[in-house]
Amino acid sequence: MSIQRTGNRPAQILLVEDNDNDAELTRISFSKVKFAVNLSHVENGEECMAFLRKQGKYTDAPDPDLILLDLNMPRMGGQEVLREIAADPNLRRLPVIILTTSDAHKDVLDAYNLRCSSYIVKPIDFENFSKVIKGIAEYWFTLVVLPTEPRV
Amino acid sequence: MLVFLYSFCDADYALPQSKLPMNNTPEMPSWAATAVVTTVLAAAYFIAGKLALLLAIPPGYATAVWPSSGIALAGLLLYGYRCWPGVWVGSFLVNLGIAFDASSAQALASSLAVAGGIAGGAALQAGASAWLVKRWVGFPSPLTRADDVLRFFALGALAGCLVNATIGPLVLLVAGTLPAANWLNTAFTWWVGDVIGILTFAPLVLIALGKPRALWRKRIAGVALPLVAVFAVMTVWFGYTSALEDGAQRSRFEERARTIADAVEGQSERHLEVLNSFVMLFEIHQQISRADFAAFAEQALARHSNIRAREWIPRVQDSKRAAFEREARRHVDPGYHIREGQAGGLVAAATRTEYFPVYYVAPTTDNLSALGFDLGSEAVRAAALQRARTSRQTAASSRLVLVQERHQGYGVLVVAPVWGSRAPASELLGYAAAVFQIDDLFAAAIKLAATEGIAVRLIDESASADDQLLLGTAGAQAGTDASPMRWSHHIAMADRTWRIEFAPTPQYLSAQDTTRPWTAFTLGLLFTGLLGIGLLVQSGHVAATEEAVAERTAALADANARLAERERFLRLVFEASPSAMIMVDGNGRIVMANAQTEILFGYTGSELVGQPIEMLMPERYRSKHVILRDKFGGAQSARTTGVGQDLYGLRKDGSEFPVEIGLNPVRTDKGRFVVSAIVDISERKQAKALRQAVEALERSNLDLQRFAYIASHDLQTPMRNIASFAGLLRDTYADKLDPQANDWIRRIVESIKQLQILIRDLLDYSRVDSQAHPFELLPMRSLVEDAKRLLESAIRNSAAEVSCGELPALMGDRSQLVQLMLNLIGNAIKYRGGAPPRIHVSAERQGGEWRFAVRDNGIGIAPKYHEKIFDIFQRLHDQRVYPGTGIGLALCRRVVHRHGGNIRVESEVGQGSTFYFTIPASTETEL
């Protein structure tokens, strides 16, 4: 068992997903994972930016260690969010994982061009989906040094 | 002969040669030909020279024209320097003819040398002139340019003739034939003669023989004939004036001679008269004393001092001799005897019957020795005495050498018989005699003649041939005298007939003023020569002009031909234009219409021309068009009408068709016209409609595809959700639910799986065209390998063997073709029978495409389904036995169609299947 690098606090994950069901499945998947995770969920891009900037109702929002971003969202889509995050000097450090159904090459390129950290296609069935979530957690919380790690 | 001569003209080598004239230029004609030419040249030179001498003015060497020099120059120019011997020989012969004197060896040698020297000069002159011409004018030259002609003559004639004009007279001077004083004059004359010879005759020879023949030949009429004509006229005129001059000369001469003859005759008559008066004196007085005689004689002599002696010759009979002598010694002279001549002296006369002694003689002083001389003792005198006695007339003797003998020359005794008057006129008393010394008698006249240079001869015709010459002055020659000017006159001397002959001496001849005709002739010939030059220049100019004109004409003809050609071409273009072209005048009438117009509108050309253009459009446009036409008339530039509009043309049969018209105004000097091109655009319109339909179809197709894509894509999410939650439900709550619920959940999950596959296949099918990639060259073999890799587990599980034969490379979409192979091979594996699948992929070239075959040993397909299986969602089997959506083959067909090929199957149930599909071969698909 790997040691969670976030130490004695749970990992803060921001899920940006417009589909409620997908959000639920994601939550379930994270719950099965052996890491302490606090999953925040916003439904669209504007909410995401507000959350990150601790605006409006998100004044007390925690700093996310990881952002899971869907692409196809109404009003403000994933690419726009990425752009905004990259443009913001305070936010650009945050790792963003695109988690989407689209495997279109163009979407992939665009996302990486906008400096996302990873691009993951949501598997169709739940079993694989759980595995993906598990993999994400293991990678990002044990292997990788997060920019938001507490400094010892 | 002329043709022969032409061929040897070395006139093809136009480079002037700066060699000395004596060098032989190495050339092709044979030496035999050269010899012929040389001989001809010599002959021509000689003949021309001889003819020219006929025109010579004495003395001998000077002629106003020397054609031979023109012939010589032309000859050397045409045939080369090597012909110079011809000139030498010709000149030698001519000059020899003039100067030949075989009287002595020295004279012979001299005349040969003179002739040779002059000939040398002539040859040198010809050579030098030729060289000058070749150097400064160039030969052969057609002499068409004025400065060429002038230089030719300036150098060839004026300069070149200085050669022989110097050498010739010099030779004569050295030989002594020409006095030094005359040298310059003679040289000048020669020079003029040669120059004029060249001026008049060189052109003639060149015209006859020069090359280029065509050009020189033209000059026959324009130059040669006038030149010859003028020359002939000049010659004739000269001959005429010469003859006139000759005649005048002759008249003058005759006049002089006559004058002198008259003087002589007059004198002799007077002398005879004196004699007669003597006779009368004696007849009257019968006896005259010496003093009387002397006085009378004195008187007579005073008037006629040139009578040598006057004598009284009494007849003395022998019987009376002594008495006579005694008488004479008393009255006349103390030493008087009757004497006779003997051995150069006078002795007492021998005894004869009669004596005729000189009794009285006057003038006494000179004639003393004659006293007593018996005239009868000398034959000639006695003959005269006898004749006078017989004829009873005065008689003259033939010539005598006088006793008195102080002068050279002859004398004549004239005796007149004196008859006694008492007797019946039969008794001869004696003779009155006069002795004429011919020289003295006619001294004055002869001196006169001499001063004028007229030679005189006095002939006693009555005497025998040997005694005929009484008097001959210097320069007078007997008989065959070359001079044609001779004149003679008969003088009666008593009973004899004398003839006095006059002939001009060379001095007389040379003193004649012959310069006038000569000058005139020279000027005339000079004029001829200049005429020659002028005609040459003019003909050259004409030739040059003609050449220019010919060139221009040819160029014009050429240009015209090209123009005509072009016109024909343009006409062709107009007629053959694939568009209908019509030309319309300012009034809207059709002026020209091409073939396509006729075809398009169904009229013939004649039906169109002259008609208003509106006849070709539907009624409804006509009035408007008229207005527009008027307006357009003012336009300057082209316009296209009918584009985007509905413009229609009207055919003869009444049908209409859509047209596009291009208009262009043209301005010609005949007025304003409009050229229009009319194109039938009905096809274009149809094509456009068709294209639009196709575009619409394509658009809708695309829309459908996009729709299919989006639809399938958007279906994924809820489907995933359903599957996930159903799965969660199954996993999480399996033990909390009853078997029924679990069973239903299981069915839900499986249905979802199926739905997902269906949606995925539908997505793939819809993507064939929308997610199409541009074609690239693909090796089919590697595509098959890709498909095999993707089917790896299926192949392993079924123990399938997939083999392939030689597969080509062709243009296609990689992913789609991989999908194609995947589907076909996958099907072959899936629809297997009991045996492990044996699958073979092969390709065969058929014309412009490749036919691929995928053969399997599967379950096979009944023929009635061979079409159906390619339809979308068509399945022949139960999902549980052979899973699948039924989209696979439809997809394959779509892919194959996209690549421009076809797909079909050959199969029987239980006999496996072979799927054939074609794809165009790569080289042919590229455009």
Task: Note the pLDDT tens digit of each residue in B812-833.
Answer: 888 889 989 999 999 999 888 8
Over residues B86-103, the mean pLDDT reads: 80
Q: Which of B466-475, B485-494, B533-542 has the lowest mean pLDDT?
A: B466-475
Q: Select the more confidently predicted residue: A58 or B316.
A: A58
Residues of B in contact with A124 (CB under 8 A): 716, 719-720, 723, 756
Top pLDDT among B568 and B476 is at: B568
What residues contact B286, with CB distance under 8 A and at least 6 apart? B420, B421, B422, B429
B574 contacts: CB under 8 Å, gap ≥ 6 = B581, B592, B594
Q: Is B412 helix (H, G, I), strand (E, B) or coil?
A: strand
Considering CB atoms only, which of A22, A28, A102 is closest to B721? A22
- 10 Å CB burial of residue A141 (0-12, 13-18, 19+) is buried
Q: Which of residues 72-101 of A touch B (CB under 8 A)?
A: 101
The secondary structure of chain A as a DSSP string is -PPPTTTTSPEEEEEE-S-HHHHHHHHHHHHTSSS-EEEEEESSHHHHHHHHTT-GGGTTPPPPSEEEE-S--SSS-HHHHHHHHHH-TTTTTS-EEEEES---HHHHHHHHHTT-SEEEEPPSSHHHHHHHHHHHHHIIIIISPPTTPPP-
Contact B629, B588 (CB under 8 A): yes
- Give the pLDDT confidence of B388-406 residue by residue, as tens digits: 888 888 888 888 876 555 5
**B904-917 mean pLDDT:** 93
Judge whether residue B847 has pLDDT over 60.
yes
User: Three-class SS of residue B607?
Assistant: helix
Q: Do B720 and A124 touch (CB under 8 A)?
A: yes
pLDDT over 70 for what percent of chain B?
88
Q: Do B724 and A25 touch (CB under 8 A)?
A: yes
Q: Shortest CB distance from A129 goes to which of B716, B724, B756? A: B724
Residue type, A5: R
Higher pLDDT, B456 or A139: A139
Judge residue B489's burial from the number of C-beta atoms within 10 Å of its C-beta, 0-12 exposed, 13-18 middle, 19 or more buried.
middle
Output the CA torsion sign for B785, B787, B790, B791: negative
Give the best residue of B717, B722, B733, B761 to mutate against chain A (max A CB count within 10 A). Answer: B717
Q: Render pLDDT for B739-797 as a digit per residue (tens, 0 to 9).
A: 888 888 888 888 888 888 888 887 777 777 766 778 888 899 999 999 999 899 999 99
Chain A residues closer than 8 Å to B723 by CB: 124-126
8 Å CB contact between B165 and B188: yes
Please answer whether residues B708 and B762 qualify as being in contact, where contact means their C-beta atoms are separated by less than 8 angstroms: yes
Share of chain B above pLDDT 90, in %: 11
Q: Using 50, 70 and 90 to split pLDDT, how confident is the model at A152?
A: low
What count of other Cβ atoms lies within 10 Å of the Cβ of residue B425?
11
Mean of the pLDDT values across residues B656-660? Answer: 88
pLDDT class of B229 with cuts at 50, 70, 90: confident
- In whole angstroms, give the CA distance from residue B74 to residue B704: 107
- Interstrand relation of B395-396 and B590-593 (parallel, antiparallel or unpaired): unpaired
CA distance B90 to B765: 121
pLDDT at B14: 40
Q: Is B717 on the interface with A (CB under 8 A)?
A: yes
Q: Is the pLDDT of residue A126 over 80?
A: yes
| Residue B753: closest C-alpha in chain A | A125
The residue behind tokens 């030419």 is B37
Helix (H) or strand (E) holding B509: helix B506-511
- Write the ipTM: 0.71
Nearest beta carbon to residue B728 from set A28, A122, A124: A28
What does the pLDDT read at residue B305?
65
Put simply, the answer to whether A124 touches B717 (Cβ < 8 Å) is no
SS3 state at B495: coil
Residues B723, A122: C-beta atoms closer than 8 Å:
no
- Within 8 A of B728 by CB-CB distance, chain A residues are 25, 28, 126
Residue B873 backbone zone (phi > 0: left; psi -120 to 50: alpha; other: beta): left
Rounded Cα gap, residues B725 and B748, in angstroms: 11
Q: What would the two tokens of residue B471 be?
A: 């008097």
| Mean pLDDT confidence for B883-905 | 87
Which residues in chain A are closer than 8 Å to B718, comparing Cβ atoms? 21
Tokens of B488: 């003679």
Q: Which one of B720, B722, B728 would you mutate to disrupt binding with A, by most A Cβ within 10 Å of its Cβ?
A: B720
What is the per-residue pLDDT across A65-94, written as a single tens digit (0 to 9) for each? 999 999 988 888 899 999 999 999 999 999
The Cα B188–Cα B186 span in angstroms is: 5
Dig out the tokens for B88 from the structure.
């030498």
Interface check for A132 against chain B (CB to CB < 8 A): the answer is no
Q: Among B720, B727, B728, whose Cβ lies nearest the Cβ of A122?
A: B720
* Cα A91 to Cα A148: distance, rounded to the nearest angstrom: 11
Least confident residue range of A58-67, B129-138, B211-220, B653-662: B211-220
- The tokens describing B213, both together, are 């023949």
Tokens standing for B443? 């001294």
DSSP string, B351-409: P-SEE-B--EEESHHHHGGGTTBBGGGSHHHHHHHHHHHHHTS-EE-S-B--SS--SSS
Interface check for A28 against chain B (CB to CB < 8 A): the answer is yes
| DSSP secondary structure, B261-313, as one string | HHHHHHHHHHHHHHHHHHHHHHHHHSS--HHHHHHHHHHHHHH-TTEEEEEEE
Q: Answer yes or no: are the C-beta atoms of A82 and A49 closer than 8 Å.
A: no
The predicted model gives B677-702 an average pLDDT of 87
> Measured between CB atoms, which of A101, A122, A127 is closest to B727?
A127
* pLDDT for the residue B927: 42
